[in-house]
A and B are shown apart, each in its own frame.
Chain A
Amino acid sequence: MKNMTMTQKILANGAGKDFVSAGELIMAKLDMVLGNDITTPVAINAFNKAKFSKVFDKSKISLVMDHFAPNKDIKAATQSQQCRFFANDFDIEHYYDVGNMGVEHALLPEQGIVTIGDLIIGADSHTCTYGALGAFSTGVGSTDMGVAMATGKAWFKVPQAMKFNIKGKLRPHISGKDVILHIIGKIGVDGALYKSMEFMGEGLKNLSIDDRLCIANMAIEAGAKNGIFAVDDITLEYAKGRSEKEPRIFVADEDAYYEQVFDINLDEIDHTVAFPHLPENARTKDEWGEIKIDQVVIGSCTNGRLSDMAVAAEILRGKKIAKNTRCIVIPATQNIYLECITKGYLKTFIEAGCVVSTPTCGPCLGGHMGILAANEKCVSTTNRNFVGRMGHETSQVFLASPEVAAASAISGILSAPEQVL
């Protein structure tokens, strides 16, 4: 295999080819097909309409009830029930419901259901998260999911690539979220349209897996097909003990073609927040001004992992949140929730005046458990701030790191952690 990027190598491998070039249309075998309680019912309808009677591999389909779960109303309950019946009928191994579920993109890597070198599609746009593990993963719609559940294959157009050469080290209280908001601010919400974003360089050793998951998660917010990180010791260490699969490490060739190359110096990145109503409206802390905040959400597939909970707890410890500000904390999986109890974070959150929820996507997509009223402003560690995203169409969402979110909860205005510590 020559002259290929990481993404091209994984796609070539999945297609059973020695070489694929950008623009080529290929059919590739899948290691995992994912859906949630919103997208799976539409996929099941497609599966039934096409008169499929079997799934390709009951161990390679993941159905996670997380968006409107625990179910918010009868209609949502009916949708989860349809998924549950399907999972039972076809003996789907990775079916996650209330009690063992979590936010899908936090759950699948945590459980080792997706791992290094895998080729994954998911009927959820943030499926690109698993690129953090050196996997090719991308979001698709329900029809693609429905057909893939039966055939184990999907067609892809091999993408052009952009290289992000990571250097240096993050300053204290700056994290992966600031890095990706900085990048999207630079290239725009369609800056990587149809392309793969490949992250490599000596600075990777200073980015934790949680930082990488957060960065890859938001590749779609730049329009990318996928985001992917070079595999190193940190990736291997993370995968060890989670997945029994032998890691398949795909390394970009030295002469691989990248349409654009960006140098990202981690030392130069400051606290970065995306102002309403697009993730590209990135502003660093000196550009924020005074923004009064009604609600803070700390959680989601972007920032609901244990390290996010840890840093939020560190900032909130011994403090109270502002009088007219609500703060909702959502550990992304049952395991993270348990760890938050064991490590005392839950006590910290509750004593500070936060409310702590069971794992759910809930407020992130304006589903339930934290909907915004007219004109309300919310600082959220989630990944989208489109018009009406979290509730009323006049409400506003400011995307931020857990560090900034926790600090803003304490002061009641958009704040950097240094302003409250």
Chain B
Amino acid sequence: MKAHGKVHRYGDNVDTDVIIPARYLNTTDNKELASHCMEDIDKEFVKKVKQGDIMVGGFNFGCGSSREHAPIAIKASGISCIIAKSFARIFYRNAINIGLAIIESEEIASNINANDEVEIDFEKGEIKNLSTNKSFKTQPFPPFIQEIINANGYVNFVAHKKEN
């Protein structure tokens, strides 16, 4: 799997309340959730984001609530991968479970600026910042996590396993 897109960059402690405010949690519709993604810290995000784009954050990305609506909103908005210096525990788990790729690396997240163009090869664990010509290596996901992401989430993965 590969990803290629422009970077939307945020700081430390991006919490689940700003990713998707509670006032919109009366729906489970992915598109509707996506239409309010990041609204309390970046009103421009939903206007700017394009399919395949990449989100970059600082430390403790996704802290706060267990609401799966948060990674769902980010994924449904078009983001193909989040790179952060560190992730909050529940968010990390939820992102994998819904099939949203994430990369945890202080070095990589520090070397990517807003609007940079980035290319990611997940199998090889290669991240290229095309705007600065810098390349980075990351530990590829173990095969079963890769399988979950390729299956577009844990549920599809479990359902698929059951059928076979």
Contact = CB atoms under 8 A, between A and B. Distances in A.
Given A190-B88, A365-B22, A50 B159 contact: yes
A124 interface: yes
Contacts of A79: 26, 28
A387 B26 contact: no
Interface stretch (A35-43, A233-241, A254-262, A310-318): A35-43
B17 interface: yes
Interface string A119-138: 00011110100000000000
A39 B90 CA distance: 13
B27 A141 contact: no
B89 A146 contact: no
Interface in B21-56: 21-23, 25-28, 40-41
Interface centre among B21, B26, B69, B97, by most A CB within 10 Å?
A: B26
B22 A143 contact: no
Contacts of A49: 155-156, 159
Nearest to A225: B89
Residues of B in contact with A, size category:
35 or more
Interface string B49-84: 000000000011001111111001000000000000
Nearest to B70: A141
Interface string B88-128: 11100110011000000000000000000000000000000
Contacts of A39: 66-68
A19 to B, nearest CB: 23
Interface residues of A, number: 46
A150 B97 CA distance: 16
B64 A139 contact: no
B17 A125 contact: no
Contacts of A278: 13
Given A223-B89, A278-B13, A387-B41, A124 B66 contact: yes
B129 interface: no
Interface of A is mostly: loop
B154 A147 contact: yes
A223 B88 contact: yes
Nearest to A46: B155
A308 interface: no
A393 interface: yes
Contact of B68 (A42, A72, A220, A223): A42
A141 B66 contact: yes
Contacts of A194: 89
Contacts of A72: 26
A388 interface: yes
Nearest to B27: A75
A398 to B, nearest CB: 16
Interface string A223-249: 101000000000000000000000000
Contact of A125 (B59, B65, B72): B65
B158 A50 contact: yes
Interface in A385-420: 386-389, 393
A141 B90 contact: yes
Interface of B: 13, 15, 17-18, 21-23, 25-28, 40-41, 59-60, 63-69, 72, 86, 88-90, 93-94, 97-98, 153-156, 158-159, 162
